[in-house]
Amino acid sequence: MAQASRSQQLVRSERRMFAASDDNAMMKQILSTHAPDGRLVDVKPILLIIDNVLRHITPEIDQALTAGSGRIDSFDDQTNLSAIDDVLDALAYIVHKISCEISCKCAGGGDAHATTMVILNMLSSYSWDAKVVLTLAAFAVNFGEFWLIVQLCTTNTLAKSVALLKQLPDVFEHSQTLKPHFDALNKLIKAMIDVTKCIVEFIELPCEYISSEVPPLSTAMASIPTAAYWTIRSVVACAAQITSLVGLRQEFVTSTSEAWELSSLAHKVSSIHEHLQNLLRLCYQRIEEKKQEETYKEFIRIIETPQMEISKILRVIFRKEDPHPLFSPADKTRVDIDVLRRKHVLLLISDLDISLDEIQVLEVLYKYERASSSELNYEIVWLPIVDRSAWNDSYQQKFLNLQSIMPWYTVNHPSVIEPAVIKYTKEKWRFVKKPIVVTLDPLGKVTCTNALNMMWIWGNAAFPFSTDKEESLWKSESWTIELLVDGLEPNLPNWMREEKVICFYGGEKMEWIESFTSATKKAAQTLEIGLEMVYVGKNNAKERVKKISGLITEKQLSHSWQDASVWFFWNRLESMLYSKTQHGKTNDPDIIKQEVMTILGYDGSEHGWAIFFLGTTEMVRANGERVLSSMQSFEEWEEMARQMGFIPALRKHLEGITDDHHCTRLILPGISGGIAERVVCAECGRPMEMYFMYRCCVE
């Protein structure tokens, strides 16, 4: 009974001390014990042994109490003891000394705080992580010896004799009474180990990437003394609980307040662990940011420095851990980047929302390059830029679906792309949402940061897809019907040969389309001239355009393009504008750029539009209201049309219209390559205001 009374006194003292906050006075007392002499202790192998001891004991306690059997299965210790023998040999004395101190103080009913301070003073010359690990080691020795005796006393004569001399209770006989104590003990031991591991992790963080002088590591280092104190204090409390069982062989007396004390300590230590874990997470985040910053600078240096071979550039694009980062569609296998040596490489950069139209048009160019006997020698590699934090099975399936329809090389998984490369694509190559194609020559030099514009405008004729090539191609271009249509209309050569008036028109109001086509055909019949009309749809309105095209065909109003041709027509116009903007180095009027912006401006309005050609260059265009009213009032300029010709007369008539002005609007998707800072209205010539417009679900 004396032992039980001593235990209850210890609990009351512990509770008073536990209720005290970690105030400044207490912190000063803890820090006053810390006088490290610079000695280095490799605590990780010791912590591994401790972990093996304590984590093997706690499940066995649960098993024993639940099963009520004296037979406990042994465990296989996989630790290489010989590797840490030297470390333990040098520290065996201090571990034994702490073990004796704990046993002595707990057996005598000593104050837990006082005992903790004695241990801290005993370990004053060690670092904080070493203090905690060595104290845990001492506890592991005491607790391990206690449990070995309890575990073996039913089957081993020696253990049974020792248990009798120590007057240890039969754990299995008192299983229901002891269970709350050992449950609380298990939770506290787990919390102690978790906090200790956190402290060790903080000490081992690489100083070249994070400083202990600034947050979050400085905050963590300030918290470690408190964490160390409460961990050692918990060791003392656990040891006191084990010691209280000694001498109670015949009669076991216990109090639920002791289990409560352990549970309260477990809650406090777990809270400390959660706090340290949050700080540790911030530290690793800071370290990763620093590493990525270094990698980013290194990537900039390599990508912007002339190389001897493209493979050197490509190797820094992909993670070094993956020796085969590419997927070959030809044989469905993973391959090394050496397959791209001595080739021009086109990096197709997009997210997982790249359109099928884009893939199909690019596939035509890619396969034509393969089939031709020309000197074209380029490969395409798809680099999908994704948010890895949001990656899930749905994204994985979407990636695999896109990969399966691409005939060129792709990454085997988006994760093989270095984060620094993703940052570079956004900051330097200005990738946002719309796909871009960055071209590298066989020496790894970036020849164009977005060759997709060139590919849409000129196809493989723009190879090797460099900015110099792009500039030279524009010098030889003029605003003609061939540039506008680019082979999208297969009947165009015959119509031009037959000297027909050719009208391309767009919009999405069926009433306007019917009125316009009817009035225009009537005017052509009156003049007895050949006329062909082609509906080219509207940008970013695929489903509505498909429906309108079906009605136009059904009612035989005019020719109408299919989905792919409509998409390519508008995409080429946008590509022309971006390409022209990049090469607009002079203040001279640019007819092509102005005409492209006019058509895009027409498309941005709610009305239709039309452009008429006769031959290669004779042209007139207008928005929907003006061109419809002109056709409906054809009798007013019919005579002029017979004298001057249809297109010159229509142009003159349009110039004489002085109706209310309706400005157009120009809507462009975000894309790398820059947007013109000054844009003038296609109708009035006045500068237009710049706005940012974000659109979603445009269908």
Q: Three-class SS string for 7-21?
A: HHHHHHHHHHHHHCC
Which of the two residues, 34 and 680, has the higher pLDDT score? 34
- Tokens found for residue 642: 């017979």
How confident is the model over 104-125, as a mean pLDDT? 83
Q: Whose structure tokens read 């391959």?
A: 335
Under the banding of pLDDT at 50, 70 and 90, the label for residue 651 is: very high
* Phi then psi dihedrals of residue 548, to 5 deg: -65, -40
pLDDT digits (tens, 9 = 90+) for 527-560: 999 999 999 999 888 889 999 999 999 999 999 9
How confident is the model over 169-191, as a mean pLDDT? 74
- The answer to whether the beta carbons of residues 501 and 648 sit under 8 Å apart is no
The residues that bridge with 612 in the sheet, in sequence order, are: 503, 620
The residues that bridge with 623 in the sheet, in sequence order, are: 609
CA distance 336 to 640: 69
- The answer to whether the beta carbons of residues 45 and 83 sit under 8 Å apart is yes
**Cβ-Cβ contacts under 8 Å for 686 (sequence gap 6 or more):** 663, 680
How confident is the model over 440-462, as a mean pLDDT? 92
CA distance 93 to 77: 24
Q: So where are the chain's domains?
A: 32-66+82-289, 310-476, 481-698
Which residue type occupies 629?
A: S
Could you tell me the end-to-end alpha-carbon distance of the chain, in angstroms, rounded to an integer?
84
* Phi then psi dihedrals of residue 151, to 5 deg: -70, -35
- What one-character-per-residue DSSP string does 174-197 give? THHHHHHHHHHHHHHHHHHHHHHH
- The answer to whether the beta carbons of residues 574 and 478 sit under 8 Å apart is no
Question: Is the pLDDT reported for residue 333 higher than 70?
Answer: yes
- Tokens found for residue 11: 């609990």
Q: Whose structure tokens read 């209850």?
A: 8
For residue 412, give the 3-state DSSP assignment. Answer: coil
Question: Is the pLDDT reported for residue 44 higher than 80?
Answer: yes
CATH no. of 310-476 = 3.40.30.10
Q: Is the Cα torsion angle 143, 144, 147, 153 positive or negative in sign?
A: negative
Which residue type occupies 131?
A: K
pLDDT digits (tens, 9 = 90+) for 6-20: 444 444 444 444 444
Q: Whose structure tokens read 């270095």?
A: 418
Which of the two residues, 87 and 38, has the higher pLDDT score? 38
pLDDT digits (tens, 9 = 90+) for 469-525: 999 999 999 999 999 998 899 999 999 999 999 999 999 999 999 999 999 999 999
Average pLDDT, the chain: 82
Range with lowest mean pLDDT among 203-212, 235-244, 385-394: 235-244
Helix, strand, coil content of the chain in percent (nearest 5):
60, 10, 35
Residues in the chain: 699
- Tokens found for residue 311: 């493979």
HEC profile of 359-400:
HHHHHHHHHHHHHCCCCCCEEEEEEECCCHHHCCHHHHHHHH
Of 646, 610, 627, which is closest to residue 501 (Cα–Cα)? 646
Question: Is the pLDDT reported for residue 28 higher than 70?
Answer: yes
- The answer to whether the beta carbons of residues 70 and 156 sit under 8 Å apart is no
pLDDT confidence of residue 538: 92
- Tokens found for residue 254: 């216990």
pTM of the full structure: 0.73
pLDDT digits (tens, 9 = 90+) for 670-694: 544 455 555 656 556 666 555 555 4
pLDDT confidence of residue 244: 72
Question: Is the pLDDT reported for residue 634 higher than 70?
Answer: yes
Range with lowest mean pLDDT among 66-70, 96-100, 511-515: 66-70
CA distance 124 to 76: 36
Which of the two residues, 443 and 248, has the higher pLDDT score? 443
pLDDT confidence of residue 252: 47
pLDDT confidence of residue 5: 46
Range with lowest mean pLDDT among 185-199, 330-344, 672-686: 672-686
Range with lowest mean pLDDT among 57-71, 212-226, 658-672: 57-71
Under the banding of pLDDT at 50, 70 and 90, the label for residue 169 is: low
Which residue type occupies 335?
A: V
- Tokens found for residue 406: 């691409």
Cβ count within 10 A of residue 615: 14
pLDDT confidence of residue 10: 43
How confident is the model over 285-291, as a mean pLDDT? 91
How confident is the model over 310-327, as a mean pLDDT? 88
Question: Is the pLDDT reported for residue 68 higher than 50?
Answer: no
For residue 534, give the 3-state DSSP assignment. Answer: strand
How confident is the model over 91-111, as a mean pLDDT? 78
pLDDT confidence of residue 268: 93
The residues that bridge with 680 in the sheet, in sequence order, are: 687
Strands ordered across the beta sheet of 344-350: 333-335, 326-328, 409-411, 378-384, 344-350, 436-440, 446-448
User: Rounded to whole angstroms, what are the CA distances from 32 to 26, 236, 507?
Assistant: 10, 20, 82
CA distance 471 to 578: 13
Question: Is the pLDDT reported for residue 108 higher than 70?
Answer: no
pLDDT confidence of residue 107: 61
Of 430, 481, 500, which is closest to residue 617 (Cα–Cα)? 481
- The answer to whether the beta carbons of residues 384 and 352 sit under 8 Å apart is yes
User: Considering all CA atoms of the chain, what is the largest pairwise distance in Å, rounded to the nearest integer?
Assistant: 129
User: Rounded to whole angstroms, what are the CA distances from 10 to 22, 630, 685?
Assistant: 20, 103, 92
Under the banding of pLDDT at 50, 70 and 90, the label for residue 247 is: low
**Cβ-Cβ contacts under 8 Å for 1 (sequence gap 6 or more):** 253
- The answer to whether the beta carbons of residues 382 and 409 sit under 8 Å apart is yes
Question: Is the pLDDT reported for residue 66 higher than 80?
Answer: no
Question: Is the pLDDT reported for residue 84 higher than 90?
Answer: no
How confident is the model over 151-174, as a mean pLDDT? 66
Pairing status of strand 378-384 against strand 409-411:
parallel
How confident is the model over 53-80, as a mean pLDDT? 51
**Of all residues in the chain, what percent carry a pLDDT higher than 70?**
78
